């Protein structure tokens, strides 16, 4: 066999392997969601260094809706816990926390969030999807949330989006 034919065969084989490996790679899926939340626990402790400054822990439960009708996160149960450092007089603060979303089969996805409060409103922040159980073991992702809006002192909603790498 001539050298040219051997090089062509090697090139075709390499191309076929690259296509197969690429097709098996974990693909990023973009999702857009909305979470309705209900505050179940809240405990604040005044710091005392300035008027209105407090640190707090909280728990929220709710439901997630996938705004694009995709099954990921659509109609899932939601539980969030976190820590806040805020000033009720200045309306400024920061926070971070954890949330777990549970699908209809009982499989869960774990994530963290962090963000800032301006003028008494949680305006925006980041989220990181870190792992899951069952069919979501190995899931990863990053995203953004914005404008957490309170309808009543205990009821709020928050839109968010993320790029998620689903496990194989």
Which pLDDT tens digit goes with each residue over 98-115? 999 999 999 999 999 999
For position 76, what pLDDT does the model report? 98
Q: Is residue 18 part of a domain?
A: no
Number of domains the chain is built from: 1
Q: Is residue 6 part of a domain?
A: no
Provide the whole-model pTM. 0.81
For position 69, what pLDDT does the model report? 94
How many CB atoms are located within 10 Å of the residue 155 CB? 14
> What residue numbers bound the domain in which 75 lies?
27-165
Q: Is residue 74 part of a domain?
A: yes
Radius of gyration of the chain (CA): 22
Q: Is residue 3 part of a domain?
A: no
- In order of 21, 26, 136, 161, the CA distances from 16 in angstroms are 9, 18, 30, 35
> Is the separation of the CB atoms in 68 and 54 below 8 Å?
no
Indicate which CATH number applies to the domain containing 104: 2.40.350.10
Tokens of 85: 């450092």
Q: Is residue 147 part of a domain?
A: yes
């Amino acid at each position: 066999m001539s050298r040219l034919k051997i090089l062509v065969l090697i090139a075709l084989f390499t191309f076929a392997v690259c296509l197969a490996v690429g097709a098996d790679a974990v693909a990023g899926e973009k999702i857009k969601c909305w979470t309705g939340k209900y505050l179940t626990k809240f405990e604040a402790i005044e710091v005392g260094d300035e008027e209105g400054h407090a640190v707090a822990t909280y728990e929220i439960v709710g439901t997630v809706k996938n705004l694009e009708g995709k099954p990921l996160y659509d109609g899932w149960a939601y539980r969030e816990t976190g820590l806040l450092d805020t000033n009720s007089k200045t309306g400024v603060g920061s926070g971070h926390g954890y949330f777990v979303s549970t699908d209809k089969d009982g499989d869960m996805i774990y994530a963290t969030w962090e963000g800032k409060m301006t003028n008494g409103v949680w305006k925006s922040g980041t989220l990181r999807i870190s792992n899951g159980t069952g069919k979501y073991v190995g899931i990863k992702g990053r995203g953004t949330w914005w404008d957490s809006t309170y309808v009543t002192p205990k009821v709020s909603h928050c839109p968010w989006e993320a790029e998620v790498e689903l496990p194989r």
